[in-house]
Amino acid sequence: MKGLIGILLATVLGTSQPVRGAQAPEATGLAFAVPPPTSNGGQAWKDSHSRALKLLAEMTLQEKISMVTGQRGPCAANSESIERLGIPRMCFQDGPAGVRPALGHTQFPSGITTAATWDVELIYNRSVALAQEFYDMGVHIALGMTTGGPLGRSPYGGRNWEGWYADPYGTGVASFYGTKGFIDVGMQSCAKHYTVYEQETFRNPFNFTEPYSVYKASEQVPISSNVDDKTNHEVYLWSFAEAVRAGTTHVMCAYNSINGTHACANSESNNLHLKGELNFQGALISDWGGTWGTEGFVMGGLDLNLPGLGYGNILGNFYDQELYQMVLNGTIPESRLDDMVVRVLVPLFASGQYDKPIPSTVINSVGAANWPEPAQYRNVQKRSTVELIRKISADGTILLKNTGGLPLKAPKNIAIIGQDAGPNLLGIQGCGKLFRDCDIWNNNGTLSLGGGSGYAWPNNLITPLEAIQAKALETQALVQFVLNNTATNAIDLTITGRALPMGQPDVCLVFAERYVRENMDRNDLSLNIGEWTHSEDIILQTAAKCNNTIVVLHIPGPVIMEAWIDNPNITAVVAPLLPGEQTGPGLVDVLWGHVSPSAKLPFTIAKAEKDYPPNTISYDISVTPQADFTEKLKIDYRWFDSYNITPRFEFGFGLSYSTFAYSEIKSDPTEVPDSTSVQKTNESFVGQQDGQSIYDMVLTITAEITNTGRWTAAEVVQLYVSFPTAENQPPNVLRGFTKLKNMKPDETRTASFPIRRKDVMVWDVVVQKWRYPAEQTVTFRVGSSSRKLPLSLTHRFCH
Ligand SMILES: *[C@@H]1O[C@H](CO)[C@@H](O)[C@H](O)[C@H]1NC(C)=O
Ligand SMILES: *[C@@H]1O[C@H](CO)[C@@H](O)[C@H](O)[C@H]1NC(C)=O
Ligand SMILES: *[C@@H]1O[C@H](CO)[C@@H](O)[C@H](O)[C@H]1NC(C)=O
Ligand SMILES: *[C@@H]1O[C@H](CO)[C@@H](O)[C@H](O)[C@H]1NC(C)=O
Ligand SMILES: *[C@@H]1O[C@H](CO)[C@@H](O)[C@H](O)[C@H]1NC(C)=O
Ligand SMILES: *[C@@H]1O[C@H](CO)[C@@H](O)[C@H](O)[C@H]1NC(C)=O
Ligand SMILES: *[C@@H]1O[C@H](CO)[C@@H](O)[C@H](O)[C@H]1NC(C)=O
Ligand SMILES: *[C@@H]1O[C@H](CO)[C@@H](O)[C@H](O)[C@H]1NC(C)=O
Ligand SMILES: *[C@@H]1O[C@H](CO)[C@@H](O)[C@H](O)[C@H]1NC(C)=O
Give tens-digit pLDDT for 332-345.
999 999 999 999 99
Model confidence at 498, in pLDDT bands (50, 70, 90)?
Answer: confident
User: How much is the pTM?
Assistant: 0.95
Q: Is 528 in the pocket of ligand 1 (CB under 6 A)?
A: no
Does the CB atom of residue 496 touch ligand 9 within 6 A? no
Task: Give the residue, by CA position, lying nearest to ligand 1 atom 1.
Answer: 314
SS3 assignment, position 69: strand
Tens digits of per-residue pLDDT, 216-235?
999 999 999 999 999 999 99
If one residue of 268, 274, 766 were mutated to test the ligand 3 pocket, choosing by the most ligand atoms within 8 A of its CB, it would be: 268
Task: Give the neighbor-by-neighbor strand order of the sheet with 791-796.
Answer: 733-743, 713-722, 777-783, 791-796
Confidence at residue 16, expressed as pLDDT on a 0 to 100 scale: 30
658-796: CATH superfamily: Immunoglobulins (2.60.40.10)
Q: Say if residues 753 and 791 touch (Cβ distance below 8 Å).
A: no
Is 784 touching ligand 9 by the criterion CB < 6 Å?
no
- Is the pLDDT assigned to residue 23 strictly greater than 80? no
Q: Is 547 in the pocket of ligand 9 (CB under 6 A)?
A: yes
Query: What is the DSSP-derived secondary structure letter of residue 712?
Result: -
> Which residue's CA is the nearest one to ligand 5's atom 3?
326
User: In this predicted structure, what is the pLDDT of residue 24?
Assistant: 40
Residue 790 has pLDDT above 60, yes or no: yes
DSSP 633: T
The answer, yes or no, to whether residue 370 has pLDDT greater than 90, is no
The answer to whether the CB of 518 falls within 8 A of the CB of 159 is yes
Q: Answer yes or no: is the C-beta of 322 below 6 A from any ligand 5 atom.
A: yes
Distance (Å, rounded) from C-alpha 226 to C-alpha 224?
A: 6
The type of residue at 417 is: I
For 122-135, the pLDDT digits (tens) are 999 999 999 999 99
State in Å: Cα 314 to ligand 1 middle. Answer: 4
Average pLDDT of 162-182? Answer: 98
| β pairing state of 261-262 and 413-417 | unpaired
Distance 15 CA to ligand 4 centre (A): 47
Kindly state if the Cβ of 682 falls inside 6 Å of ligand 4.
yes
Banded model confidence at residue 440, pLDDT cuts 50, 70, 90:
very low
Q: Cβ–Cβ contacts within 10 Å for residue 665, how many?
A: 20
Q: What value does the mean pLDDT take over residues 249-258?
A: 98
Q: Long-range contacts of range 764-773, CB-CB < 8 Å, 24 or more positions apart? A: 764/686, 765/228, 765/229, 765/230, 767/686, 769/684, 769/685, 769/686, 769/688, 770/683, 770/684, 770/685, 770/686, 770/694, 771/685, 771/686, 771/687, 772/686, 772/797, 772/799, 773/723, 773/724, 773/726, 773/727
Q: Is pLDDT at 25 greater than 70 in this prediction? A: no
pLDDT band at 117 (very low <50, low <70, confident <90, very high): very high
Please give the pLDDT value at position 196. Answer: 98
Q: What is the mean pLDDT of residues 372-397?
A: 91
Residue from 117, 123, 125 whose mutation best tests the ligand 2 pocket (most atoms within 8 A of CB) = 125
pLDDT for position 2: 37
Contact 440 CB / ligand 6 (< 6 Å): no
> Pocket around ligand 7: residues whose beta carbon is below 6 Å from it?
484, 486-487
**526 C-beta closer than 6 A to ligand 8:** no
Structure confidence at residue 437 (pLDDT): 53
Task: Please identify, by atom number, the ligand 6 atom nearest to the C-alpha of residue 484.
Answer: 13
Looking at ligand 8, which residue's alpha carbon is closest to its atom 10? Answer: 544
Q: Answer whether 664 contacts ligand 2 (Cβ < 6 A).
A: no
User: Is 276's C-beta closer than 6 angstroms to any atom of ligand 4?
Assistant: yes
Instruction: Name the band, by pLDDT with cuts 50, 70 and 90, for residue 17.
Output: very low
Residue among 417, 442, 484, 541 whose CB has most ligand 7 atoms within 8 A, to mutate: 484
Atom 8 in ligand 6: residue holding the nearest Cα: 442
Residue 30 pLDDT > 50: no
User: Mean per-residue pLDDT for 554-569?
Assistant: 98
Of the ligands numbered here, which is closest to the C-alpha atom of 441?
A: 6
- Where is 241: in which H helix or E strand? helix 238-245
Residue 190's identity, in one-letter code, is C
Question: What is the pLDDT at residue 210?
Answer: 81
The pLDDT mean for the chain works out to 92
Residue located nearest, by CA, to atom 1 of ligand 2: 125
Q: What residues contact 614, with CB distance under 8 A and at least 6 apart?
A: none
Which atom of ligand 1 is found nearest the CA of 21? Answer: 13
Q: Which ligand is nearest to the CA of 437?
A: 6
| pLDDT value at 565 more than 60 | yes
Q: Where does the pLDDT of residue 13 fall: very low under 50, low under 70, confident under 90, or very high at 90 and above?
A: very low
- pLDDT at residue 325 greater than cutoff 70: yes
Lowest mean pLDDT among 78-82, 259-263, 501-505, 667-671: 501-505
CATH of span 383-603: 3.40.50.1700
- Beta bridge pairs of residue 192: 146
List helix spans (H) across 246-316: 267, 295-299
Pocket test for ligand 4, best of 280, 684, 767, 769 (most atoms within 8 A of CB): 684
Closest to 296 in 3D by CA, of 311, 276, 316: 316
For 745, the 3-state DSSP assignment is coil
The top-scoring range by mean pLDDT among 6-15, 22-31, 606-615 is: 606-615
pLDDT digits (tens, 9 = 90+) for 281-312: 999 999 999 999 999 999 999 999 999 999 88
- Kindly tell me if the per-residue pLDDT of 49 is higher than 90: yes
Q: Looking at the predicted structure, is the pLDDT value of residue 373 above 80?
A: no
Whole-number Å distance between alpha carbons of 295 and 303? 11
Q: 33 versus 147: which is more confidently predicted?
A: 147
Q: Is 13 in the pocket of ligand 1 (CB under 6 A)?
A: yes
Tell which one of 431, 438, 481, 486 to mutate to probe ligand 6, the residue whose CB is within 8 A of the most ligand atoms. Answer: 431
Per domain, the residue ranges of the chain are: 46-350, 383-603, 658-796
Does the beta carbon of 696 sit less than 6 angstroms from any atom of ligand 3?
Answer: no
How far apart CA 168 and CA 735 sit, in angstroms, is: 9
For the segment 722-727, the average pLDDT, to the nearest whole number, is 97
- Range 396-410 average pLDDT: 98
517-543 in b/e form (b: 16+ CB < 10 A) is bbbbbbeebbbbbeebbbbbbbbbbbb
% pLDDT > 90, the chain? 86
Q: Which of 30-34, 361-365, 781-785 has the lowest mean pLDDT?
A: 30-34
CA of 331 to the centre of ligand 5 (A): 7
Residue 502 Cβ contacting ligand 6 at under 6 Å: no
Does any ligand 3 atom lie closer than 6 A to the CB of residue 259? yes
Q: What pLDDT is recorded for position 367?
A: 56
Number of the ligand 7 atom closest to the C-alpha atom of 425 = 13
Judge whether 775 and 726 are in contact, CB under 8 Å.
Answer: yes
β-strands 769-771, 762-764 pairing: antiparallel
Pairing verdict, β 224-226 and 626-628: parallel
Distance CA 146, CA 287 (A): 13
The set of catalytic residues is 287
Closest Cα to atom 9 of ligand 3: 229
Instruction: Quickly state the pLDDT bin for 6 (edges 50, 70, 90).
Output: very low
Q: Is the CB of 569 under 6 A from ligand 8?
A: yes
For range 394-410, the mean pLDDT = 98
Right CATH for 46-350 from 3.40.50.300, 3.20.20.300, 2.60.40.10, 3.30.70.1290: 3.20.20.300
Compute, in angstroms, the gap from residue 391 CA to the centroid of ligand 9: 34
- Ligand 4 centroid–CA 683 distance in Å is 8
Report the separation in Å between the CA atom of 27 and the middle of ligand 5, taken as the mean of its atom positions: 19
Q: What is the pLDDT at residue 502? A: 84
Report the pLDDT value the prediction gives residue 377, as an integer from 0 to 100. 85
Residues 83-109: tens digit of each pLDDT? 999 999 999 999 999 998 888 999 999
| pLDDT above 70 (res 32) | no
**pLDDT tens readout for residues 597-628:** 999 999 999 999 999 999 999 999 999 999 99
